[in-house]
Structure 1
Amino acid sequence: MGWFTIFKKNKDTQHVTETPSVPVNASPASVDSKSQLNGASVHDGQGIFLIYNYLQQDFETRGYNDALTSPDEGYRNDNIKLIKYDLEILVHQVKTYHDSLMKDIEFHIHSRERAGLVDLVDELRIKQTDLGDHIEKVKTFEQALQTGTGLCERAILSYKRGFMKGMASITQAYLLTKKF
């Protein structure tokens, strides 16, 4: 290897290292789809979004698998009660979270008002209004849970449908395929 080839390699390496690098503190271009709300606001996956995520579970598959495990009506009814209880726990958890967050927002509004940060206070009031809307929606969920209507009933109907499909599948597999 000659002197000229060594210098040529060093020159090529310098050219590669001179390419602009991405700053370390730059944020990634893609944002997690769960962190987007209406394409504009970002939420932290807490609050009412926990309830929405719970209600969007695949309860039909869960019911189907439960029927294959134990095709008993008592087992089905117990699992329906568990779904309702889990949702009730989640509603209470979200209400507690919202109450705490509302207190935090109110504190920041008062302290930032005293500091004269008008624009920041306006933004906080918007967040407070949004939180108030979420609190009302959670109250609606809670009432629907107590009366057995609305979006909460969707989970129950989906579970029952899956359970019935599982029972039908058992019958189809064992009895209707038998030849007399």
Structure 2
Amino acid sequence: MGWLTIFKKNKDTRKVAEVPSVPDNVSPASAVNNKSQLNGASVHDEQGIFLIYNYLQQDFETRGYNDALTSPDEGYRNDNLKLIKYDLEILIHQVRTYHDSLMKDIEFHIHSRERAGLVDLVDELRIKQTDLVDHIDKVRTFEQALQTDTGLCERAILSYKRGFMKGMASITQTYLLTKKF
């Protein structure tokens, strides 16, 4: 009888380690998709244009401030401004490549699902395609703004310059304005 209780105890501990099952009224596919959807709308996947938005929302002011404390030189500042622009340009090229590839995939699926007669699915794909075209247009706008130093791209530059100037002012206040004559 002692052996049977040992086996029963091992069986009970294995049940604790198992993955919880999906409730009967919810299909397994919808349980998996629950993380990627919110009220039926897809949540962006941190790809495409959202990478550009994330880059532009960085704290460039703190970066400029710290750079000024490292080297309060105008040449150093100008080099870092160029690096910010080059990084954004690289990111824009990556996003354009991603969008081009995604557009090809969507077009392939539209044509193949159209031949299969999946009308509703084709309509959903066409909606995704129009959203993608809108994103591509916005990326082109970012690219033009980067070349002319306008728009949201200018925000990063101004923020960095402001931080750099604050850093230089901080150096002056710390070393010279606190000294007594």
The TM-score range, normalised by the shorter chain, is 0.7 to 0.9
Q: Does the C-alpha gap of structure 1 residues 17 and 145 become closer, same or farther in structure 2, counting only changes over 3 Å?
A: closer
Q: Does the C-alpha gap of structure 1 residues 15 and 47 become closer, same or farther in structure 2, counting only changes over 3 Å?
A: closer
Q: Deviations over 1:99-155 (max 9, x none)?
A: 010000000000000000001000000000000000000000000000000000000
Contact kept in structure 1, 2:22 and 2:28, CA below 8 Å: no
Normalised by the length of structure 1, the TM-score is: 0.81
Q: Give the count of matched residue pairs.
A: 180
Contact kept in structure 2, 1:48 and 1:138, CA below 8 Å: yes
Normalised by the length of structure 2, the TM-score is: 0.81
Spell out the pairing of 1:11-160 with structure 2 (5 A cutoff). Answer: 40-160=41-161
Task: Return the alpha-carbon distance in structure 2 between the equivalents of residues 129 and 84 of structure 1.
Answer: 29
Contact kept in structure 2, 1:63 and 1:163, CA below 8 Å: yes
Contact kept in structure 1, 2:146 and 2:153, CA below 8 Å: yes
Q: Does the C-alpha gap of structure 1 residues 54 and 37 become closer, same or farther in structure 2, counting only changes over 3 Å?
A: farther
3-state SS, counterpart of residue 26 of structure 2: coil
3-state SS, counterpart of residue 155 of structure 2: helix
Moved more, 9-18 or 136-145: 9-18
* Match in the other structure for 1:9: 9
Task: Return the alpha-carbon distance in structure 2 between the equivalents of residues 110 and 174 of structure 1.
Answer: 69
Q: Does the C-alpha gap of structure 1 residues 92 and 20 become closer, same or farther in structure 2, counting only changes over 3 Å?
A: closer
C-alpha displacement at 1:42, in angstroms? Answer: 1.5
Q: Deviations over 1:59-117 (max 9, x none)?
A: 00000000000000000000000000000000011001100100000000000000000
C-alpha displacement at 1:41, in angstroms? Answer: 2.7
For structure 1, which runs of at least 5 residues remain unmatched after alignment? none
Q: Does the C-alpha gap of structure 1 residues 115 and 65 become closer, same or farther in structure 2, counting only changes over 3 Å?
A: same
User: Which stretches of structure 1, 4 residues or more, deviate above 2 A after TM superposition?
Assistant: 1-41
Q: Does the C-alpha gap of structure 1 residues 17 and 99 become closer, same or farther in structure 2, counting only changes over 3 Å?
A: closer
Q: Does the C-alpha gap of structure 1 residues 18 and 99 become closer, same or farther in structure 2, counting only changes over 3 Å?
A: closer
Q: Does the C-alpha gap of structure 1 residues 166 and 113 become closer, same or farther in structure 2, counting only changes over 3 Å?
A: same
Task: Return the alpha-carbon distance in structure 2 between the equivalents of residues 57 and 5 of structure 1.
Answer: 60
Contact kept in structure 2, 1:37 and 1:43, CA below 8 Å: no
Moved more, 125-134 or 21-30: 21-30
Contact kept in structure 2, 1:98 and 1:135, CA below 8 Å: yes
C-alpha displacement at 1:43, in angstroms? Answer: 1.7
The share of aligned pairs that are identical, in percent, is 90
Contact kept in structure 2, 1:36 and 1:43, CA below 8 Å: no
Moved more, 141-150 or 4-13: 4-13
Q: Does the C-alpha gap of structure 1 residues 77 and 116 become closer, same or farther in structure 2, counting only changes over 3 Å?
A: same
Task: Return the alpha-carbon distance in structure 2 between the equivalents of residues 120 and 77 of structure 1.
Answer: 51
Task: Return the alpha-carbon distance in structure 1 between the equivalents of residues 94 and 23 of structure 2.
Answer: 39
C-alpha displacement at 1:44, in angstroms? Answer: 1.4
Task: Return the alpha-carbon distance in structure 2 between the equivalents of residues 91 and 17 of structure 1.
Answer: 45
